[in-house]
Amino acid sequence: MKVKNIVIFLLVGGLIALIAYRIMSNKSQDEKTNQKSGSPKAMSIVNGIVLKPKKFANELTLSGSIDANEQIELRSEVAGIVQGIYFEEGSYVSKGKQLIKVNDIELRAQLAQAKTRQTLASENERRAKLLLQKEAISQEEYDVANAEFESAKSQTQLIQAQIAKTSIVAPFSGKVGLRSISPGTYVTPTTLIAKLVNTNQVKITFSIPEKYASLMKNNAIITFTTAGNKEIFNAKIYALEPAVEQTTRTLQIRAIAENKDGKLLPGTFANIILPLEEQNDAILIPTESIIPIQNGKKVFITENGKAKEVIIETANRTEKEILVTSGLKVGDTLITSGIMAIKEGAPVQLKLIQN
């Protein structure tokens, strides 16, 4: 019985000692926490720059298409058998050169018949005129003879026009592409014969956002490059659409570029650099100083030794900097490092770097 009481006494004493230890331990922890909370905030060491006005040549980078100066699909206006092909595939042809001849034997026979009728009608009109002068026939009878003559003459002219359509000539100088017919092929107005392209000059077609529409002028020079070619080409703006496209809110523009050496191929894309106005007092900041947020972008500046959050609006960018259009002013001290670790109102130790 004595042993049992001793064991119970030891257990109760151990439990009391454990409770006392936990109470003292928690008290010590609270004191440490209070000491920490009462200590001043740690100061962040950051880099920064003082904003100064800079010269900035504002420009747009756009995509456009390269088109031939002139380009058509050669087709026959009349149906018939191809009698002759007078061009080589891929060759250069001059304006007015005959390219295709469609057989016109039947039309020439019709022309001979029409000319015979015209001759007879002409003679009948001449006789009727003489008889009218002698008052041997009425004015009405003469008018009938004259109308028959005019009709026969018109029929002759119509057949001559159809014969002229059997010869396809180049409407402008250029290069003929691959032909899809051979001598003896029966062609119709829907048959594609070949393509004729003038590439001595090429057209550059592109669109710009409507907010830049007022800045575009005729004769302005643009530069562009093409895929796989580092050479920079120049083009001159010569035409602008008179209205903004409502669905895309863009203005379509067309420029023309010389292509004497044939390096620019119609149908390819052009990477266009379009110069806008030059600003002498632009504010440019490093891209790494910007924090994207839900409604835009923000940066931190220093004010009275503390970090201050500023919402900004930006425009074009260069390789390392971006143009700020609102939110910052000349003389502000911008924080450029450690921006993800600081908060609004946090004390900072600034180290100015050369801007």
Considering the domain architecture, whether residues 94 and 175 belong to the same structural domain is answered as yes
Tell me which residue of 194, 305, 243, 227 sits closest to 64, measured CA to CA.
227
**Residue 164 to residue 141: CA distance in whole angstroms:** 35
CA 207/CA 244 separation, integer angstroms: 10
Same structural domain, 212 and 166: no
| CA distances (Å), origin 191, targets 79, 109, 185 | 9, 25, 10
* Rounded CA separation 336/51 (Å): 11
Q: Is residue 211 part of a domain?
A: yes
Let me know: does 45 contact 352? Beta carbons within 8 Å: no
User: What pLDDT, on the 0 to 100 scale, is given for residue 12?
Assistant: 63
Same domain assignment for residues 261 and 290 = no
Cβ neighbours for 150, distance < 8 A, ≥ 6 positions apart: none
Q: 8 φ, ψ to 5°?
A: -65, -40
pLDDT at 260: 86
Instruction: Tell me the average pLDDT of the chain.
Output: 87
Any idea which of 37-46, 66-75, 275-284, 319-328 has the lowest mean pLDDT?
37-46
Q: Give the number of domains in the chain.
A: 4
At residue 250, the pLDDT reads: 93
For the cut 90, the answer to whether the pLDDT of residue 185 exceeds it is yes
Instruction: Note down the domain range covering 28.
Output: 1-39
pLDDT tens digits, one per residue of 90-107: 999 999 999 999 999 999
271 shares a domain with 215 = yes
Q: Spell 312-335 as b/e; 16+ CB within 10 A means b.
A: bebebeeeebbbbeebbeeebbbb
Q: Whose CA is closest to 82, among 181, 195, 169, 190?
A: 181
Residue 85 lies in a domain: yes
The answer to whether residues 80 and 176 belong to one domain is: yes
Residue closest to 50 by CA, chosen among 297, 281, 331? 331
Distance CA 116, CA 313 (A): 84
Flag the least confident range among 48-62, 70-84, 199-213, 284-298: 48-62
pLDDT at residue 204 tops 90: yes
Length in residues, the chain? 355
Tokens 């009948």 belong to: 124
- pLDDT for 281 equals 86
Distance CA 281, CA 289 (A): 20
Residue closest to 329 by CA, chosen among 290, 278, 282, 289? 282
Q: Which residue, among 333, 339, 338, has the nearest Cα to 353 in the 3D structure? A: 333
The verdict on residue 93 lying in a domain is yes
Range 22-42 average pLDDT: 53
Q: What are phi and psi of 332, to 5 degrees?
A: -65, 145
The answer to the question of residue 263 being in a domain is: yes
CA–CA gap between residue 225 and residue 202 (Å, rounded): 13
d(CA 270, CA 281): 31
My answer on whether 160 and 110 are in the same domain is: yes
- Same-domain check for residues 92 and 158: yes
Phi then psi dihedrals of residue 219, to 5 deg: 75, 5
Q: Would 192 be classed as within a structural domain?
A: no
For residues 155-181, give the mean pLDDT: 94
Tokens of 249: 């809110």
Question: Are residues 344 and 273 both part of a single domain?
Answer: no
Flag whether pLDDT at 10 surpasses 90.
no
CA distances from 285 to 49, 338, 349 (A): 9, 15, 20
Residue 140 sits in a domain of what CATH number? 1.10.287.470
Q: Does 16 reside within a domain?
A: yes
> What is the helix (H) or strand (E) element at residue 36, kind and residue range?
helix 2-37
Query: Rounded to two decimals, what is the model's pTM?
Result: 0.61
Q: Residue 8 pLDDT > 70, yes or no?
A: no
CATH classification of the domain holding 340:
2.40.420.20
Same domain, 259 and 316: no
Residue 6 in this model has a pLDDT that exceeds 70: no
β-strand partners of 201: 258
DSSP string covering 91-133, please?
-EE-TT-EEEEE--HHHHHHHHHHHHHHHHHHHHHHHHHHHHH
Domain boundary among 134, 161, 187: 187
Asked if residue 284 and residue 340 are part of one domain, the reply reads yes
- Quickly tell me which residue has 């009698």 as its tokens: 83
Query: Taking the alpha carbons of 333, 336, 339, 342 in that order, is the dihedral positive or negative?
Result: negative
The span from the CA of 129 to the CA of 141, in Å, is 10
The string of pLDDT tens digits covering residues 108-126 is 999 999 999 999 999 999 9
Q: Which tens digits make up the pLDDT trace of 216-274? A: 888 988 999 998 888 999 999 999 999 999 999 999 999 999 998 888 999 999 999 88
Same domain, 180 and 135: yes
